[in-house]
Amino acid sequence: MILYELEFRPGDIRGLLVDFWKARAVVPEVREFADSLVGGVVEHLAALDETIAKNAAHWSLARIAPVERNILRLATYELLQRYDIPERVVINEAIELAKAYGSEESGAFVNGILDHIRIHLNLPQRSPA
């Protein structure tokens, strides 16, 4: 949700995080984990977008709907930077988010791009969760 909102309020990550957490009571570990993911995506945004664009056959980044684009950014960040999260978990969670918040075809679309990224970047093997 925060990544999606950053599409419309770029550069206001601190304000978005403050507003987001005001309305939600969560344990500190959940908040820290979520904040680290958002911060990681923002920090590596250019490289993530480049990776997604290279692996989204016949799709420019601008043509990908904002919901799917941000799910792809988050999952690509996790695949490339968060080795503590198994690939299968990253991809399955991204598919579920796409199904829940995107269009009818979003799950398959996200799966196809992430699978392409996983295969073509020769990501290090991870142990299953």
The full set of domain ranges for the chain reads 2-120
Q: Is the pLDDT of residue 98 over 70?
A: yes
With cut-offs at 50, 70 and 90, classify the pLDDT of residue 17: confident
CA 105 to each of CA 99, 108, 112, 119, 125: distance values in angstroms, whole numbers, following the listed order: 8, 6, 11, 21, 29
Look up the CATH architecture of domain 2-120: Orthogonal Bundle (1.10)
What does the pLDDT look like over 25-71, one tens digit per residue? 889 999 999 999 999 999 999 999 999 999 998 899 999 999 999 99
Structure tokens at 26: 């969560």
Lowest mean pLDDT among 10-24, 33-47, 52-66, 99-113: 10-24
Q: Is the pLDDT of residue 126 over 80?
A: no
Contact 37, 74 (CB under 8 A): yes
Q: Is the pLDDT of residue 124 over 80?
A: no
Predicted local distance difference test score (pLDDT) of residue 123: 63
